[in-house]
């Protein structure tokens, strides 16, 4: 058992303590609760008290967060969570910020997006270095968000002329025919998450201007048929709901000077049981082709509320249980 320890951490010069500590010291409270130590702020210093190993861990978490802030990140609660999670997983808390060229600048450099896990870092590096990347894993792991950041950055730097965002419009328990409006109005709810991610990357006025000009296009997957996509950054989201035929159609749209990123969660397929998910099938079909990269995410990469990670793990445990046959009826 570690001996009690007391450590005074002097913060780096120029650090915004209000951002580091969080509203009402909420970030320090997160470190305190996670590591079982006492954390208190005194001006430009942070006092850590508790078991020696945990205190050293708290010092490392604070150092990682300071490095993030030095790189221009506006610190949020999830950044603190991932620094703590990296520490508890045996990784350096600063690995979330030790990204070098892996950082993504969006909005003309006004905002920097950094990977929050080693898998996210590999994903960004794969997108930067390859023309076709498939990101597969549970919801909330940043697959679409990071791909969108790379697309916006590429358009801003004029590496591509347009961004094309596609999604299958698949019924997930709801019937399209019962939704009000014309066909565009019916499929728009399926595309809404792409708009949300886009508007988070750039101001609404600029995004709407690019959408009106056609520099950014958001459309159902079916609208991709018959097109050749040159000088474009193309993202296919929710690809687990693309059929085998749709997946082949999409992948063969890729033109010159274009990149494609395919994202999806193979545990949440909404296709009818008789239809094969194109994302599940393509893992075997494309596995041996050089230049195509598969990046697999897990619940450790979830960047939503901490309960999302626990929910995903609970479903995994449930699905791994042997299925029980229903009891036989007594005659």
In this predicted model, what pLDDT tens digit does every residue of 106-125 receive, in sequence order?
Answer: 765 557 777 878 898 899 99
In 3D space, the residue among 66, 162, 64, 147 whose CA is nearest the CA of residue 113 turns out to be: 147
* pLDDT for the residue numbered 172: 43
Q: Which residues of the chain have pLDDT under 70?
A: 1-3, 89-102, 107-110, 170-190, 304-306, 309, 323-331
* pLDDT for the residue numbered 210: 92
Q: Could you read off the pLDDT of 144-185 as tens digits, one per residue?
A: 999 999 999 999 989 999 999 998 876 544 444 454 554 455
Is the model's pTM score more than 0.75?
A: no
The pair of structure tokens assigned to 18 is 């209000």
**What CA–CA distance (Å, rounded) separates 22 from 311?**
26
In 3D space, the residue among 167, 124, 84 whose CA is nearest the CA of residue 259 turns out to be: 124
Sequence-ordered alpha helix ranges (H) in the chain: 17-21, 26-35, 52-70, 77-88, 118-129, 143-156, 183-201, 204-213, 244-251, 278-285, 306-320
């Amino acid at each position: 058992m570690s001996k009690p320890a007391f450590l005074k951490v002097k913060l780096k010069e120029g650090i915004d303590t209000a951002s580091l500590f969080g509203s009402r010291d909420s970030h320090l409270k997160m470190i305190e609760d996670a590591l079982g130590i006492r954390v208190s702020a005194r001006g430009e210093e942070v006092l850590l008290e508790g078991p020696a190993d945990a205190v050293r861990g708290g010092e490392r978490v604070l150092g990682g967060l300071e490095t993030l802030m030095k790189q221009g990140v506006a610190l949020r609660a999830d950044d603190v969570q991932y620094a703590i999670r990296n520490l508890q997983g045996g990784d350096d808390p600063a690995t979330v910020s030790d990204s070098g060229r892996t950082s993504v600048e969006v909005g003309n450099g006004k905002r920097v997006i950094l990977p929050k896990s080693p898998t996210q870092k590999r994903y960004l590096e794969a997108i930067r270095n390859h023309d076709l990347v498939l990101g597969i894993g549970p919801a909330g792991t940043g697959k679409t968000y990071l791909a969108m950041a790379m697309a916006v950055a590429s358009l801003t730097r004029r590496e591509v002329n347009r961004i094309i965002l596609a999604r299958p419009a698949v019924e997930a328990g709801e019937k399209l025919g019962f939704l009000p409006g014309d066909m565009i109005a019916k499929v728009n709810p399926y595309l809404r998450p792409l708009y949300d991610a886009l508007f988070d990357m750039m101001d609404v006025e600029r995004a709407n201007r690019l959408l009106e000009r056609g520099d950014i296009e958001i459309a159902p997957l079916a609208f991709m048929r018959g097109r050749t996509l040159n000088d474009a950054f193309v993202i296919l989201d929710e690809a687990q709901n693309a059929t085998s035929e749709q997946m082949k159609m999409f992948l063969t749209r890729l033109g010159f000077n274009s990149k494609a990123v395919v994202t999806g969660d193979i545990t949440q397929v909404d296709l009818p049981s008789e239809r094969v998910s194109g994302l599940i099938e393509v893992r075997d079909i494309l596995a041996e082709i050089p230049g195509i990269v598969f990046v697999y995410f897990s619940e450790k990469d979830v960047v939503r509320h901490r309960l999302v990670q626990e929910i995903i793990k609970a479903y995994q445990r449930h699905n791994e249980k042997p299925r029980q046959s229903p009891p036989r009826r007594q005659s």
